[in-house]
A = this chain, B = another copy of it.
Amino acid sequence: MSGTRFPPGSGRPLTGEAVLTRAFRLLRAFEAADGALSLTALARRSGLPKSSTLRIATQLVAVGALERRDSGDFVIGLGLLEVASLAPRGHGLRAAALPYMQDLQQVTRQHVLLAVREDTDAILVERLSALDATPVKYRVGGRLPLDATGVGLALLAHAPESVRAAVMDGPAATVQDAAAGRRVRQLVAAARAEGVVALTIANPVAGGPAEITTVAAPILDARGHALGAISLVSPSTGEPRTGLRLALRTASLAIARAAGQRPRPN
């Protein structure tokens, strides 16, 4: 939270910038919450004094970014959804992808994910799930690791060199174990060569199958950069069928075209 400047002897910022930083700290405090937060909980989670929390939260209610319930608890407001839906990398790509994702979901009756890269994470933009699909815990708007998910690896394979280095090589590398590092390198190389990547991972959700398999393909622009990636997540059945790989690749090409890109053969 850099950029916060306080005048000497005052607990209140002199310039407006700090208010925005603190307002978004308040909004992000809801990420680990289960919907509603009391004023006290909001202050504690955001690390702001209760008086500042109330002042900023009240203003966020006024602009529609928060809503206050009869109980006094705060929740994220619909005004934020109205504005967030204008993000080209979110709902713009989603609008192009959704019909093809629905086709995939209808045929497989499992989970179909759409994600985009934000620095060294993937952000889940859409998830379609059949009522009877294997439970997973991916949440729209949530972050996924680039090096341990299908959509993440598809994005990583077509990310700028600096991002790949940060994830795989650099001092900030998230892949710390040598064997795991080799595995990520192999998957990234396969994703680049084949335009699709498949991996089986332990299911993070208790009660479902022990393992889940994901097949993912990048959505590429004309320069070969990833606009996003789609994946299919299903109970593990070993190596995914060739048909699924082809279905993911053709869907990703169709989405790229629908998003106004001339797809590169991959």
Contact = CB atoms under 8 A, between A and B. Distances in A.
A80 interface: yes
Contact of A59 (B21, B35, B77): B21
A88 to B, nearest CB: 5
A56 B20 CA distance: 8
Interface of A: 3, 12-13, 16-24, 27-28, 30-31, 33, 35-36, 55-56, 59-60, 62-65, 67, 75-92, 95, 98-99, 102, 105-106, 116, 118, 123, 125, 128-131, 139-143
A81 B124 CA distance: 10
Contacts of A27: 83
Contact of A88 (B76, B83, B106, B130): B76
Given A16-B18, A21-B62, 18 more contacts: A12-B16, A16-B55, A20-B20, A20-B59, A20-B60, A24-B83, A28-B82, A33-B86, A64-B118, A75-B88, A76-B86, A80-B87, A81-B141, A82-B123, A82-B142, A85-B141, A98-B129, A102-B102
10 contacts: A16-B18, A24-B83, A28-B82, A33-B86, A36-B88, A76-B86, A77-B89, A81-B85, A84-B85, A86-B141
A80 B84 contact: yes
Contacts of A85: 81, 84, 139-142
Contact of A123 (B22, B81, B131): B81
Contact of A35 (B88, B130, B142): B88
A37 to B, nearest CB: 10
A81 B80 CA distance: 8
Contact of A87 (B19, B77, B90): B77
Nearest to A30: B86
Residue of A17, A60, A128 with highest tally of chain B CB at under 10 A: A17
Give me the 9 closest cross-chain CB pairs, A-B, nearest first: A85-B141, A16-B19, A84-B84, A80-B84, A24-B63, A76-B87, A81-B90, A99-B131, A76-B86
A67 to B, nearest CB: 7
B36 A86 contact: no
A7 to B, nearest CB: 12
B78 A89 contact: yes
Contacts of A87: 75-78, 80-81
